[in-house]
Amino acid sequence: MHRIAYQGEPGAFSEAAARQLDATAELHPCRAFEDVFDAVNAGRVHHGVLPIENSIGGSIHRNFDLLQLNDLPIVGETEVPVVHHLLALPGTTLSQVRRIYSHPQGLAQCERFLRTLVGVDIIASYDTAGSAKMIATEQLTDAAAIASARAGEVFGLDTLRPGIQDYEHNTTRFLVIGREPISDAPHDKTSILFTLPNEPGALFKALSAFALRGINLTKLESRPNPTRKWEYLFYMDLKASPADVVCARALAHLGEIAPTLRVLGSYASCAGPREAAPPSPLSAETLT
């Protein structure tokens, strides 16, 4: 049976992402993101699911760092609509709540609602669904959790306020890691990691390798390089596959500029195959 690891408790949005990938899979909840990588590396599961960015809260930086530290390719992605509910023990009213727990991303995505509360401590925890579990297990009558409706069902909590996220179309993008393909869909997206020399125009030159060939960049993220003070690692998502000649040439071009370049994975995007790019001013065939 297909086995998928995710971070959090049952009812976490990561669990929803795993079920979206394979509704029949055997799911393995993990305490931390590091544990998801460990489970895949050890062969206890076939794939791991990791949140990488949210449309409100932004990037989950820890997972960018873990991708760099581990030699596990990205083999897929999925997106999950995120609807947050304020959950509490049955019989608890909003006026009784003095503490609200959730993952930092959950708190960030509900900032507007939280600002309306007076005399309430906002406390970050390791997981949205884990916060709901804690309230149920410890029978906290003065506390609430921000989590999914499913987390409320799993742990027997009532919804004090539904849909408290700041924006209606709140969505989290998840990456799938593993040593096996997750599907046979054509690859149309690639994630890479590279470094650049600390000199004027280096990033411009790197980006031009793709701009001149009409390749769309859907994500660019910088993270501190832990081995070199005030220098950075760059993570980039391309709407293309290295199997395409144009993309292969762009990566070769970048390799001439970047001291280090690593392809983190090529996979099918959530949006499906890309549309053909408009012709660039310079013919791609001439750019070698």
Q: What single DSSP character describes residue 268?
A: -
pTM of structure: 0.88
Sort 100 into a burial class: Cβ within 10 Å, 0-12 / 13-18 / 19+: buried
Condensed to tens digits (0 to 9), the pLDDT of residues 268-282 reads 998 643 333 343 344
Residues in a beta bridge with 146: 86
**Cβ proximity of 56 and 172 under 8 Å:** no
pLDDT at 70: 95
Question: DSSP E strands: which ranges in the chain?
Answer: 3-7, 26-30, 47-54, 58-59, 74-81, 85-88, 99-102, 121-124, 143-147, 158-161, 171-178, 189-195, 217-224, 232-238, 261-267
Residue 183 inside a domain? The answer is: no
- Examine the domain organization and report whether 282 and 207 are in the same domain: yes
Question: What's the domain range around 112?
Answer: 85-161
- Examine the domain organization and report whether 92 and 76 are in the same domain: no
Residue 184 inside a domain? The answer is: no
Single-letter code of the amino acid located at 58: G
Identified catalytic residue from 78, 172, 190, 195: 172
- Examine the domain organization and report whether 141 and 215 are in the same domain: no
pLDDT at 227: 87
Residue 267 inside a domain? The answer is: yes
What percentage of the chain exceeds 90 in pLDDT? 90
Residue 51 inside a domain? The answer is: yes
Identified catalytic residue from 13, 64, 174, 194: 174
Residue 69 inside a domain? The answer is: yes
CATH number at residue 116: 3.40.190.10
Condensed to tens digits (0 to 9), the pLDDT of residues 141-197 reads 999 999 999 999 999 999 999 999 999 899 999 999 999 999 899 999 999 999 999
- Examine the domain organization and report whether 31 and 155 are in the same domain: no
- Which of 240, 235, 228, 230 shows the shortest CA–CA distance to 266? 240
Below-50 pLDDT ranges, the chain? 272-288
pLDDT at 271: 65
Q: What single DSSP character describes residue 13?
A: H
- Examine the domain organization and report whether 76 and 133 are in the same domain: no
Sort 143 into a burial class: Cβ within 10 Å, 0-12 / 13-18 / 19+: buried
Residue 208 inside a domain? The answer is: yes
- Examine the domain organization and report whether 221 and 266 are in the same domain: yes
**Cβ proximity of 80 and 51 under 8 Å:** no
Q: Between the CA of residue 71 and those of 66, 68, 218, 254, 265, what are the distances in Å?
A: 9, 8, 23, 21, 10
User: Is 174 annotated in the active site?
Assistant: yes
pLDDT at 270: 86
Walk across the sheet containing 189-195 and list its strands. 217-224, 232-238, 189-195, 261-267
Residue 219 inside a domain? The answer is: yes
User: Is 172 annotated in the active site?
Assistant: yes
Report the domain count for the chain: 3
- Examine the domain organization and report whether 73 and 94 are in the same domain: no
- Examine the domain organization and report whether 108 and 226 are in the same domain: no
What is the maximal distance between C-alpha atoms in the chain? 70
